[in-house]
Amino acid sequence: MPLDDILKNPVIDVETVEIVGTGTYTFFTVPVGERWEVTGLHATRTGGTFTIDQILLVNADGNATQLLVEEFTQTSLLWQAEGPAYVIDAGYKIAVHVDAHSVNGDLILERYYVRYPFR
């Protein structure tokens, strides 16, 4: 069995960010010494009036990959890995893009992933 499989530590984390306008909001950053295998993300609006149109993986250079969203409503986005999950290294960020805003409110992002510690 590969060492990475032995060290797998499945995690579900939740982060809440206040949305105060349009733009990109970072929710999670992969810390130094870790690699994540992201298998799902779910964004939910819990207050305010705004819409979200993208979930993004942003590398350390600031280049973004838009994840294909499987389910979209006025208040929710869902991305679930089809086949292989995304493996992202230290410095990568998971972000959400808000494309329209009229009233401030909270956005919750749930992250489903496996953490691989490495040196």
pTM: 0.83
Report helix, strand or coil for 22.
coil
- Residue 10's pLDDT is 72
Query: How many other CB atoms are found less than 10 A from the CB of residue 55?
Result: 22
Query: How many other CB atoms are found less than 10 A from the CB of residue 29?
Result: 15
Could you list the pLDDT tens digit for every one of the 119 residues in the chain? 355 554 566 788 999 999 999 999 999 999 999 999 898 888 888 888 888 888 899 998 999 988 877 666 666 766 665 556 889 999 999 999 898 899 999 999 988 888 777 65
Distance CA 119, CA 117 (A): 7
CATH of domain 3-117: 2.60.120.1330
Question: Which two structure tokens, joined as six digits, stand for 90?
Answer: 């230290």
DSSP class of residue 81? -
